[in-house]
Amino acid sequence: MDASAEPAADQAGPAAAGPAHGTPAGWWPLRLVSRTATKAWNDSFISLSAQAAFWMTLSLPPLLLGMLGSLGFVSSWFGPETVAAAQREIVRLAAGVFSTDVVNQIIRPTVSDILTRGHSSLVSVGFLLSLWAGSSALASLVDSITAAYHQHAVRHPVWQRIFALLVYIMALVGSVFVLPLTALGPDLIPELLPAAIRPTVTELVGIFYYPGLAVLLIVGLATLYHVVVPNKPPWHRGVPGALLAMVVFLVSSAGLRLYIASVTATGYTYGALAAPIAYLLFCFFIAMAIVLGAEFNSAIEELWPADATRLRERRRGLRRTMPSSDAQPLSAPEASH
């Protein structure tokens, strides 16, 4: 009787008992929000976000050089007008996120300068140095995410920095295929296809283009949460944090845009520093959204941890069948370790 009850208790897991200390099971959303807020505050998420925002601001030119410079390798696939279309679409997408001053004074000139100069610099020493400088923003986010998961001491600091560089290079390779399609936009993509199917493709692209970008962003964030931590949880465990990160950034960026508009209307200004300050604030909210998403995923893992035995077998590359019912009591002591 006792042996058969042990697996049942394990299956109920933290979702039933959990670290709620007597809180009713129906209050699990409140427990989750409370745990996330407590973890974020104890981990100094504001400091982590500010650190990441600082490096994101300094890394903007080399970051754009690495990502936008990849268009030079695929311009022959999509035609010579790809660069001009990319510039228009990227600026248009940025205008929907950042304020007008940030777009006109920082993003538009930087994008124009990178996309209009020759791509021969991509094989120069300067581009190799830009890989290291551009990966600084990602390295800061990697440090923040691993700190949110309480795994910042697992990986050696030197290897942590090299790991961030490798992830950044992988992102650049992926951007070679993704960025041109994103930059072409919903208007130019149908033009690449035969005329017979253009009306149908135009209708489908108009419906699924922006939802597809949102799904692609969620998949990218969930993959980031999965890849950067040393002890990796299942990939789907990163999806809730990715959704929260998107919501936090959309709300915070909308509030910041309203604040900037109201300050501008009153006549108060920071002069030449207005655009850099606004861009730094936008970077702060981007970093804060990503860090809060990591804290949210970590809180879920603490309240409802993934099966330790299954994770251990995945890391070892083992594929075992489920034990029979008479062997289940033997797995309880192993799971406790």
| 120-164 confidence digits (pLDDT tens) | 454 455 567 667 777 888 888 898 899 888 888 888 888 988 998
Residue 123 or 49, more confident = 49
Predicted TM-score of the model (pTM): 0.70
Assigned token pair, 324: 């029979």
Q: Please check whether residue 126 is in contact with residue 105, taking contact to mean a CB–CB distance below 8 angstroms.
A: no
CA distance 309 to 139: 31
Q: What is the pLDDT of residue 1?
A: 43
Q: Is 70 exceeded by the pLDDT of residue 5? A: no
Q: What is the pLDDT of residue 14?
A: 43
Task: Give the pLDDT band of residue 336 (cuts 50, 70, 90).
Answer: very low
Angle at Cα 308 formed by Cα 331 and Cα 168, nearest 5°?
155
- Please give the distance of CA 19 from its chain centroid, rounded to a whole number: 29
The CA-based diameter of the chain, rounded to the nearest angstrom, is 77
Q: Please check whether residue 137 is in contact with residue 63, taking contact to mean a CB–CB distance below 8 angstroms.
A: yes
Q: Is 50 exceeded by the pLDDT of residue 329? A: no
Q: What is the pLDDT of residue 74?
A: 60
Assigned token pair, 19: 């670290």
Q: Check residue 325 and report its DSSP letter.
A: G
CA distance 244 to 149: 16
